[in-house]
Amino acid sequence: MIKPVVDLDWLRSHAGDVILADVRWYLDGRSGRAAYEKGHLPAAVFIDLDTCLAGPASPAEGRHPLPDPEVFAAAMSAAGIGDADIVVAYDDAGGVIAARLVWLLRAIGREAALLDGGLLAYDGELTTEAPAPPRAAFTPREWPPERLASLTDTVDGARVVLDARDASRFRGDAEPIDPRPGHIPGARNLPCRDNLVADGRFLPVDRLRERFAGVGVDGSAEVISYCGSGVTACHNLIAMEHAGLGAGRLYPGSWSQYSHTDRPAATGG
């Protein structure tokens, strides 16, 4: 399988062999599609997080539950992505959003990678021309249970649980969107944006491994990743794999599900 992260040189040398996917999305309500229409990488298709990469939001399931496999497959087909295609995804935030698409595809055995640095590191000309790819054949596959974690899994103490949110949200200093501040008791904070350097590229692998080792991840223990709604948690999972630390598991409901329960919330560092 393709490596989970590829750089611009790799992309240019495989330009005719991959499908580029623009997965911009903003928590503050700005339109990812509008950003795409203002300028994107040549030949890139737009993939909408809310309609393609997530199911309907609810307090019981969270803000971005996994999409139904049939819905996901239909979205990929409509974007011209078929079973045998290689997808390289990017955004303008170092891949913290685009990682959701990459993780979903890799979880079901499809070839996908993040473009290291994404739009911030791209040094070519952008375009406003949107491709119109023919519909492709993308076979639905169930999400593999061994790649997923439930709410109960996160609190049984048997695994390393990572929270990918910024430190202030982890501590409970502020909570801008979910009903309660804080974090899952026992979770360890590893803000996904700190996987990156200033231009949006990943830290060198040795420094990534140091970051993960600092929260108890050395490749020997099972890891669960969560965040606000199961999106940026995927960035930590891709970073883990990139650093040679295994695949890890995603808790899709994340804090947006947990915070609607009556389970205890921890605060502070």
Q: What spatial distance separates the first Cα and last Cα of the chain, rounded to whole Å? A: 38
H or E element in which residue 18 lies: strand 18-22
- Residue numbers annotated as active site: 227
Tokens of 215: 């929260």
How does DSSP assign 198-226, residue by residue? TTSPBPPHHHHHHHHHTTT-SSSS-EEEE
H/E stretch holding 169 reads helix 167-171
Tokens of 103: 């993780």
Which residue's structure tokens are 């709604």? 229
Burial of 145 (0-12, 13-18, 19+ CB in 10 A): exposed
